[in-house]
């Protein structure tokens, strides 16, 4: 993963691999399970897990040696958020969008070369759509992904996305050239929407939140049943764009 050749891997990288793996696993694991999943030497992982537990970056969950993400991560993240004030800035904006549209709204962003939902405000619908919070999803599967990559060149995008991520959940393959076109379309219109590819009955909308360098750092998005998406298309689009513009302004003004 981090280490493909014949050489030793750095402890830092291994440690971060452990954290990322536990995010993906979504549940406490034993050192040996982690080692196998990461494809890392067992003895190294035992060492590292002990170190990470000692510094509360990981936490012992049960008496059987299972560990999970620890409170130290929360501490660092709170300080991160204090600076960018994401939490308290975004929440009311999502609530406003859900109020206007009745749909579940989300703040999305990238982690490495994957997309994930960073914050979610559930709508009133009885059924629940969309990915779990914090779950990493291939970028081409998402409307937001088009926007989040739009500052990159075609070549950069192709280098950035793992080949296998063009395989859609239904087993078909998305043509990278088509994907690039949709990225450019999203870039031009500063908006993107399409029928979901995770299911057959919903439609995704996404609006970009630009940082100071005109790079799309986040998106606001909603996922709605197709019929509602069609009848309220302009309402939904405007609700998202308004929210995204407001959010960008607040983030840029430093408050």
Contact indicator for 221, 229 with CB cutoff of 8 Å: no
Q: Which does 32 bind (CB under 5 to 8 A by kind): a second copy, DNA, none?
A: DNA
User: Shortest approach of DNA to residue 61 CB, angstroms?
Assistant: 12
* 123 token code pair: 């709508």
Contact indicator for 248, 207 with CB cutoff of 8 Å: no
Q: Which does 30 bind (CB under 5 to 8 A by kind): a second copy, DNA, none?
A: DNA
Residue of 10, 39, 128, 173 interacting with a second copy (CB under 8 A): 10
Residue of 1, 8, 13, 231 interacting with a second copy (CB under 8 A): 13
Q: Which does 46 bind (CB under 5 to 8 A by kind): DNA, a second copy, none?
A: DNA
Residue of 111, 159, 178, 199 interacting with a second copy (CB under 8 A): 111
In the complex with a second copy, which residue's Cβ is closer, 27 or 177? 27
In the complex with a second copy, which residue's Cβ is closer, 34 or 229? 34
How many angstroms separate the CA atoms of 179 and 62, rounded?
45
How many angstroms separate the CA atoms of 233 and 128, rounded?
20
How many angstroms separate the CA atoms of 244 and 254, rounded?
15
Contact indicator for 59, 46 with CB cutoff of 8 Å: no
Residue of 1, 32, 50, 51 interacting with a second copy (CB under 8 A): 51
Pairing of strands 67-69, 192-195: unpaired
CA distances from 139 to 28, 70, 126, 161 (A): 27, 28, 27, 8
Binding track over 222-251 against a second copy, x by CB under 8 A: ------------------------------
Q: Which helix (H) or strand (E) holds 245?
A: helix 233-252
Question: Residue 106: beta bridge partners?
Answer: 120, 221
How many angstroms separate the CA atoms of 11 and 133, rounded?
28
- Name the DSSP letter for residue 139: G
**35 scored as a contact of a second copy (CB under 8 A):** no
Q: Which residues lie near DNA (CB under 7 A)?
A: 3, 7-12, 14, 30-33, 40-44, 46-48, 50, 64-65
User: Shortest approach of DNA to residue 15 CB, angstroms?
Assistant: 8
Decide: helix, strand or coil at residue 38: helix
In the complex with DNA, which residue's Cβ is closer, 50 or 133? 50
Residue of 39, 42, 43, 75 interacting with a second copy (CB under 8 A): 75
In the complex with a second copy, which residue's Cβ is closer, 116 or 179? 116
* 9 token code pair: 């891997």
Q: Which residues bind a second copy (CB under 8 A)?
A: 10-13, 15-16, 19, 22-23, 26-27, 48, 51-52, 55-57, 68-83, 86, 109, 111-112, 116, 118, 132-134
């Amino acid at each position: 993963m981090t280490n493909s050749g014949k050489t030793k891997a750095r402890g830092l990288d291994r440690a971060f691999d452990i954290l990322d793996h536990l995010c993906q696993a979504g549940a406490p694991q034993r050192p040996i399970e982690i080692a196998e999943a990461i494809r890392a030497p067992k003895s190294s992982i035992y060492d590292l897990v002990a170190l990470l537990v000692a510094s509360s970056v990981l936490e012992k969950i049960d008496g059987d040696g299972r560990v999970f993400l620890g409170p130290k991560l929360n501490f660092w993240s709170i300080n991160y958020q204090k600076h960018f004030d994401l939490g308290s800035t975004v929440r009311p904006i999502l609530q406003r969008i859900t109020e206007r549209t009745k749909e579940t709204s989300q703040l999305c962003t990238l982690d490495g070369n994957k997309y994930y939902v960073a914050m979610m405000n559930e709508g009133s619908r009885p059924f629940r759509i969309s990915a779990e919070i914090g779950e990493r999803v291939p970028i081409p599967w998402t409307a937001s992904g088009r926007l989040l990559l739009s500052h990159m060149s075609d070549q950069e995008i192709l280098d950035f996305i793992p080949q296998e991520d063009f395989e859609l959940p239904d087993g078909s393959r998305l043509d990278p050239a088509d994907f690039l076109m949709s990225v450019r379309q999203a870039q031009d219109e500063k908006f993107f929407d399409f029928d979901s590819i995770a299911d057959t009955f919903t439609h995704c909308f996404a609006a970009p939140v630009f940082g100071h360098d005109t790079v799309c750092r986040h998106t606001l998005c909603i996922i709605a049943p197709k019929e509602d998406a069609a009848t309220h298309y302009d309402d939904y689009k405007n609700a998202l764009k308004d929210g995204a513009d407001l959010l960008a302004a607040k983030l840029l003004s430093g408050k």
